[in-house]
Amino acid sequence: MIRAKFHNYIIILLSLLILTFLVLYSIQSLGYLNTPVEERYLLKDQDALYGPSGLYGHGVGFLAAFLMFLLWFYIIRKHWKRLRGVGRLSQWLKYHMWFGIVAPLLAGYHAAFKFEGLIGVMYWAMIAVMLSGIVGRYLYGHIPRRRDGHEMSMKQINTERASKLRSLQMEFGISPDDIKKFQGLTPQLDGIGTLLSLYHLAVFDVKRRYQLNQILKDFETRYGVSQQNLIFFKETVEKQLVMSQRVIVLDAVSKVFHWWHVIHKPFAYAIFIVLTLHIILTISFGFTWIF
């Protein structure tokens, strides 16, 4: 818990640093970036600073590429068994996402928002992968996981659900009838197909807060949950509801997440190859920055 917070603070701090940097950079380079591409060569001094091969623009390119390479550490950590004990996978994913959002943002400034040639196409591929990453994160969050970020087996899910239900019955005295009513909040959706399951997943997400408030209010007044136990009670009810809704759509989410991987990965590898070529080519053409 403390470690998770520590990583959240690091990410907030890094975000503030990058945001400050980008605001200052935008203010300084506004005149140049606002000039039409074909007239920029007239602004020689500014081009030498903010152009893709300029002092700052080129430097930002290095930073973007550095972050692009760092985001692969999540993939290495995930697949290389020797690194299994090194930090929680879920924390690594947070950094992966952060690098995956910030690197394309910086790359835009590096290119001075002019996207031409193969590397220009690759830039849009990067943006597509970044956006698809956000969709992937949504699906990822709906697959029940252990605290370390690894997927739970069906047996683990059922054990956890049963233990939460037992807590509600034994520790808070919720009657079997109320438990049934509570379980009725999650409809049975047998055989409805993938698309409709995804629709229900979104509906669950939108409605859940409201459903929780209703049921918590009802249970609290009727069962008189003590102030001491209130947090634990709320957590137990919420976890039970979340778990039961996720299980209902699990097959569909797992299937779509699998397809998502199939599309996301080749794009990511292509970006990696084109970026490496871009760096090798520009350096071999004599763009060596400050070195």
Interface contacts to ligand HEM, rule CB under 6 A: 52-53, 58, 61-62, 64-65, 68, 71, 75, 78, 93, 96-97, 100-101, 103-104, 107, 110-111, 114-117, 119-120, 123, 126, 129-130, 133-134, 136-137, 140, 264-265, 268, 271, 275, 278-279, 282-283, 287
Instruction: Give the shortest CB-289-to-ligand HEM separation in angstroms.
Output: 6
Instruction: Give the shortest CB-214-to-ligand HEM separation in angstroms.
Output: 32
C-alpha separations of 229 from 146, 242, 272 in Å: 24, 20, 51
> Based on CB atoms, which residue is closest to ligand HEM, 120 or 173?
120
Residue 198: name the closest of 255, 146, 262 by CA.
Answer: 255
The token pair at 267 is 């794009």
> Based on CB atoms, which residue is closest to ligand HEM, 115 or 223?
115
C-alpha separations of 80 from 75, 83, 149 in Å: 8, 6, 15
Q: Is the dihedral of CA 268, 269, 270, 271 positive or negative?
A: positive
> Based on CB atoms, which residue is closest to ligand HEM, 199 or 289?
289
C-alpha separations of 83 from 28, 87, 96, 153, 262 in Å: 43, 9, 16, 22, 24
At residue 151, the 3 state secondary structure works out as strand
> Based on CB atoms, which residue is closest to ligand HEM, 68 or 237?
68
> Based on CB atoms, which residue is closest to ligand HEM, 59 or 212?
59
Asked if 135 contacts 260 with a C-beta cutoff of 8 angstroms, the reply is yes
Instruction: Give the shortest CB-161-to-ligand HEM separation in angstroms.
Output: 23
Residue 109: name the closest of 209, 26, 189, 34 by CA.
Answer: 26
Instruction: Give the shortest CB-255-to-ligand HEM separation in angstroms.
Output: 14
Asked if 179 contacts 165 with a C-beta cutoff of 8 angstroms, the reply is yes
Instruction: Give the shortest CB-125-to-ligand HEM separation in angstroms.
Output: 8
C-alpha separations of 284 from 51, 119, 280, 289 in Å: 18, 16, 6, 12
> Based on CB atoms, which residue is closest to ligand HEM, 104 or 172?
104
- The rounded distance, in Å, linking the Cα atoms of 179 and 164 is 11
> Based on CB atoms, which residue is closest to ligand HEM, 136 or 144?
136
